[in-house]
Amino acid sequence: MSPLIVAELLTLGLAAGFLAGLLGIGGGMLLVPFLTIILSQQGVAPGLAVKMAIATSMATIMFTSLSSVRAHHCRGAVRWDIVRGLAPGIVLGGLGAGVGVFALVKGPGLALFFALFVGFSATQMLLDRKPAPTRQLPGTAGQLAAGGGIGFLSGLVGAGGGFISVPFMTWCNVPIHHAVATSAALGFPIALANTVGYVAGGWTLANTLPGAFGFLYLPALALIASASVLAAPQGARVAHAMNVRQLKHVFALLLFGLAAYMGAKGLGRV
């Protein structure tokens, strides 16, 4: 691995970690497109590059989440009751995505799904719609179903679920700072369940790069995770000190660009 790629991966880790702490996301929306580029430049076939980028991105979230949630927990912002309600469904949905669907879906199809999902998430961030004041979180069965959807979709796109869980919680009138902090806590079970699924699904996959293990690219995982755990607490501090609305709008515009790239990748245009 060249010094330039090492520097790129460390920079990605810092950016992903900061955003994880700031917005309650795992960083996958940022990591997957850039990891796809890096892996493609190293000779990995386009379809496999997308899958390896998604799996490696998700694995880094295990480390980023722990660092981010610790900072939020110290400020009393994590709603652990919501974590307990959503986590069982998240684990089931994540295992289902990682073990079954992820290994079967073709790389270009995943790239297009990622592009559509990110584009939708960016649109939701820009619209910033307000929920009905009487809406509350659903009961046990509803939270189990919601967690299953969050875990499943996260596994397909390699994200920590913040782009689903934060809008879901705010839609149910959970205050934004509590939603961001709780989403950071949910990132760990999402990442753990999906990573186990990726390992099982890619167990027989021939390694295409030194350091690759099935769908995981371990050198990138180590570099991104080591940088992200340093930056996540800084993002959490900023989140509790500022109004993140303007930053969310800027980040949404970045996501539209990344969605366009992944869409072009899925269509074989890049």
Lowest mean pLDDT among 44-58, 84-98, 185-199, 233-247: 233-247
Burial of 43 (0-12, 13-18, 19+ CB in 10 A): exposed
pLDDT digits (tens, 9 = 90+) for 103-157: 666 667 777 877 887 787 778 767 766 656 667 888 889 999 998 988 887 777 7
User: 93 pLDDT exceeds 80?
Assistant: yes
pLDDT digits (tens, 9 = 90+) for 209-248: 888 888 889 999 999 989 988 887 787 777 667 666 766 6
Kindly calculate the radius of gyration of the chain based on its CA atoms and give it in whole angstroms: 17
pLDDT digits (tens, 9 = 90+) for 160-174: 667 678 778 878 888
User: 256 pLDDT exceeds 90?
Assistant: no
Do 71 and 21 touch, CB atoms closer than 8 A? yes
Query: In whole angstroms, what is the distance from residue 126 CA to residue 164 CA?
Result: 14
Cross-strand pairs, 213: 216
Report the pLDDT value the prediction gives residue 18, as an integer from 0 to 100: 84
Report the pLDDT value the prediction gives residue 101, as an integer from 0 to 100: 63
pLDDT digits (tens, 9 = 90+) for 131-142: 566 678 888 899
